Structure 1
Amino acid sequence: MTDDPLFFVAVAATVFVAAILIFGVVTFARGGEFNRKHGNRIMRWRVGAQFVAVLLIILFAWSRMNGGN
């Protein structure tokens, strides 16, 4: 499994989603002008990145079922 490059791409995408989520939650908790101005945009970025990460995970699982390494 770890010899498949798609595995590392899916893991990297998942870590990226977690980083965006943590950044968004921290800015939300701090409040202020930055959160008012960018909070919604940050969470929209998270949703988009999460969509890509889920697609990569599904693609990885599908490739493993269909004879991938």
Structure 2
Amino acid sequence: MSILLILALVVAMGAVLYALVRGVIAMANGKDVSGEVQQGYMQKRVLYQGIAIVIVVLLLVVAKSNGS
């Protein structure tokens, strides 16, 4: 179970990194005057970070239950 959660955490962290890099590239491009593209990527980044935090909490719960 913990291996699966660790893999899910790595995927979530990769998604955070991807959204962050794409948002910065969209901002650096300067083509999107309204900022909607960057805003969309940053909202996705926050969502992926929230998912990663939930996975970390689940990992901690699993580790505590296995240790008791």
Q: 1:63 Cα shift?
A: 0.7
Give the letter aligned to residue 63 of structure 2: R
Identity of aligned residues (%): 24
In structure 2, runs of 5+ residues without a counterpart are none
Give the letter aligned to residue 54 of structure 2: L
- What corresponds to 2:64 in structure 1? 65
**TM-score of the superposed pair, with normalisation by structure 2:** 0.81
After TM superposition, the structure 1 = structure 2 runs for residues 39-58 of structure 1, keeping only pairs within 5 Å, are 39-58=38-57
Structural RMSD (CA): 2.0
**TM-score of the superposed pair, with normalisation by structure 1:** 0.80
CA deviations 1:7-57 (Å, max 9, x no partner) are 101111111111111111111112112773311111111111110111111
Question: The residue matched to 1:66 in structure 2 has which SS?
Answer: helix
Decide whether aligned partners of structure 1 residues 7 and 34 sit closer, same or farther in structure 2, where only a CA change above 3 A counts.
farther
In structure 1, runs of 5+ residues without a counterpart are none
Question: The residue matched to 1:32 in structure 2 has which SS?
Answer: coil
- Runs of 4 or more above 6 Å deviation: none
Q: Provide the rounded CA distance (Å) in 1 between the counterparts of 2:39 and 2:7.
A: 29
2:23, 2:37 within 8 Å by CA — same for their partners in 1?
Answer: no
Count of residue pairs the alignment pairs up = 66
